[in-house]
Structure 1
Amino acid sequence: MYSSRTVTVAIARPLQRVYEFLAEPRNLPRWASGPLVNYHQVSAHEWQADGPVRIQFTPVNRFGVIDFSITPSSMLSQMTPARVYANGEGAEVAITLFQREAITNEQFASDCAWMEADLQVLKTYLESLEP
């Protein structure tokens, strides 16, 4: 079993609005940093990023599931569970990160901090839009 950490952020926008935004892969560059900003769709739920990276997104569903899987050619596929659920009149976004064997404690802490920063960008972006 891997160590894990779930990073969350509360967003003062309706659940459905937050889910619809996150369920659209084209919105990823608006809030997520890193190397996955230049990518194109190759099938219904699969996208190809620059280089050998493929991203698979969970199909739109009524459960708030927005899981994604990133598959670099040199590694096993890394599934990342992600959920959007109600938090009062707003929404909560939760993304779980796993510390795989090759990841040091320092790198895992850095990855978690990176995700926290990206979720803060998401919160700021969505809360800046008209309610």
Structure 2
Amino acid sequence: MTSTDKESRHIGVHIDRPVDEVYAYASDPANLPAWARGLGGSIEKHEDHWVAASSPMGRVVISFVPRNAFGVIDHDVTLPSGETVHNPFRVIADGAGTEAVFTLRRRPGMTTAEFERDTAMVVGDLARLKELLETAVSA
């Protein structure tokens, strides 16, 4: 596959918590530094968007869809280059638990190695989200 081919991966994890609890936590941008390490260790609100000044990519601006009843936590990340990446993210009821699904899209010009690295980051982020939510309840 060349780096110009379109490719998406739906990366999911089951979280043993009710969907409303997962949505409340995951949709709150202030919680991102605890589980989404690709966005850095801190985030601040600026008007209608959030800024992660110390992300591994540099200063990024994050804009979220409004809170909703559908489990949609889509967000756009504007990179230091000015490129904006749309990130579809859903939490879906799965019995008494939740399936959290992030769609990773391969950006134009992205190598296979870069796409695999981003995939591994998302897998790690979702694993941390699961651990935080399941551990917080059992503590």
**What 5-or-longer segments of structure 2 have no aligned partner?**
none
- TM-score by length of structure 1 reads 0.92
CA RMSD of aligned residues (A): 1.5
2:67 counterpart residue number:
60
SS in 2 for 1:69: strand
1:49 counterpart residue number:
52
Percent pairwise identity = 38
- TM-score by length of structure 2 reads 0.87
Confirm whether residue 20 of structure 1 aligns to residue 24 of structure 2: yes
1:2 counterpart residue number:
6
* d(CA) in 2 for partners of 1:56, 1:117: 22
**What 5-or-longer segments of structure 1 have no aligned partner?**
none
1:34 counterpart residue number:
38
Amino acid at match of 1:78: V
Q: Which runs of 4+ in 1 moved over 6 A?
A: none
Any idea what the Cα deviations from partners look like across 1:47-70, whole Å, max 9, x if unmatched? 122154211111110010000111
2:136 counterpart residue number:
129
Amino acid at match of 1:49: A
Amino acid at match of 2:51: Q
Contact 2:74 2:90 in 1 (8 A): yes
1:80 to 61, 68, 87: 87
